């Protein structure tokens, strides 16, 4: 059954994602990424709600907090891991400051 979920996750990213590059050190990996603008994210203790940009990536990429993302919407740094379901990973994004 997990194979079906893995295929589903890849299919969704293939259709909804845009071409991007995941940068880790000197390594650049082409990938499909779905970036959502203005997602409402709860604070650590549910005491505040923040509006953040969120990226969804294939978990097989092994993305980590601090990696960079070159996307058509701009260059970003993966700021915080929101969710890892084993098939996709969701990260909050910070604009990359040059």
Q: What is the pTM of this model?
A: 0.87
In this predicted structure, what is the pLDDT of residue 98? 72
- pLDDT less than 70: residues of the chain: 1-2, 46
CATH of the domain at 38: 2.40.10
Domain residues for the domain of 70 are 2-95
* DSSP-derived pairing of the beta strands 88-95 and 68-71: unpaired
In this predicted structure, what is the pLDDT of residue 13? 82
In this predicted structure, what is the pLDDT of residue 56? 95
In this predicted structure, what is the pLDDT of residue 10? 79
Contact predicate 27/10, CB 8 Å: no
**What's the total number of domains in the chain?**
1
User: Over the chain, what HEC string results?
Assistant: CHHHHHHHHHHHHHHHCEEEEEEECCEEEEEEEEEEEEEEEECCCCCCEEEEEEEEEEHHHCCCCCCEEEECCEEEEEEEEEEECCCEEEEEEEECCC
In this predicted structure, what is the pLDDT of residue 1? 52
């Amino acid at each position: 059954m997990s194979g079906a979920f893995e295929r589903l996750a890849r299919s969704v990213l293939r259709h909804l994602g845009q071409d991007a590059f995941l940068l880790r050190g000197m390594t650049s990996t082409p990938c499909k990424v779905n970036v959502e603008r203005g997602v409402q994210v709860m604070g650590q203790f549910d005491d505040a709600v923040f509006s953040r940009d969120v990226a969804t990536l294939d978990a097989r990429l092994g993305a980590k907090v601090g990696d960079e993302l070159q996307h058509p919407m701009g260059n970003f740094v993966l700021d915080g891991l929101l969710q890892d379901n084993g098939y996709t990973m969701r990260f909050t994004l910070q604009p990359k400051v040059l």
